[in-house]
Amino acid sequence: MEPLQKGFKMNSNLIEKDPLLKVENISLKFTEKKVLQNVSFNVNQGELIGIIGTNGAGKTTLLKIILGFLKPTEGNVIFLGKKSSKHIGYVPQKLEFDKMIPLRGRDLVSLGLDGHHYGFPLPNKKRKQLVDEMLESVNAINYADTPIGLLSGGEQQRILIAQALITEPKILILDEPLSNLDIKNSYEIVKLVADISREKGVAVLFVSHDMNPLLDVIDKVLYLADGNAVMGKTQDVFQDDVLTKLYGFPVEVLHMNGRMFIIGNQSEPIVGHHGN
């Protein structure tokens, strides 16, 4: 890895030709506070990248910039050689569904095709077939006709992933899909996303407060702290000296019972523990 600096600069041996997505020196400033500082990285086809950091580190802000919801103060986002967010599937942070709403799982997936258009599309065989294929790909066909509000958190996440995939995106972005899930469901969702990424060649940006479920499947990790970032292989990023420089205070990486904990100078976990 390159020596860590304020504002990540990617190691040259990780850069591949013709990346799918290029994030170039992104900075964002609100009033006098810099939320992101010179963040740069590439995403290649089929890569699965874990994005982690504490609350307020800038993870969701970075996603909003990539999706075009926010304009950076400095820098550019280049997707397929253009400044465009098309062909990106997005699963937002935990959504709350009213149990009384009669919207079924398959209805929500169907909205991924044309939910941004006015009016209601007429049903047809091709449309139903496509929706069923997406539901089957995430193993959700058995509860596709159940109202979305009556499904468990893990079941809802599968439906939302199917909705994001139905337009065949080249990049899938998931913002904290493991929040409010137990450990079993967390690992199942991670495996599902990894299988889809490998099978379809879809690049994935997977934001999570807990890195442990991702360790066995991600290709790289993008670690954010106080607006600064470092990216690389997990074994290169999760080093005491690397994270100490990133945070600006002493940090220790601990391994315990097959899990990883990042401990700050107050002997409290920064990231890596599961909230449930």
Mean pLDDT along residues 1-18: 43
Q: What is the DSSP string of 178-234?
A: TTT--HHHHHHHHHHHHHHHHHHT-EEEEE-S--GGGTTT-SEEEEEETTEEEEE-H
Q: What is the pLDDT of residue 84?
A: 60
Q: Dihedral of CA 167/169/64/195: which sign? A: positive
Q: Note the pLDDT tens digit of each residue in 59-70.
A: 989 999 999 999
Mean pLDDT computed over every residue of the chain: 84
Domain locations in the chain as residue ranges: 1-87+169-251, 98-168
More confident residue, 115 or 245: 245
For the question of whether the overall pTM of this predicted structure is more than 0.75, the answer is yes
pLDDT of residue 30: 82
Residue 8, pLDDT > 60, answer: no
CATH of range 1-87+169-251; options 3.40.50.720, 3.40.50.300, 3.30.70.980, 3.90.1150.10: 3.40.50.300
What tens digit of pLDDT does each residue of 129-181 get?
999 999 999 999 999 999 999 999 999 999 999 999 998 999 999 999 998 88
Give tens-digit pLDDT for 123-141: 678 888 999 999 999 999 9
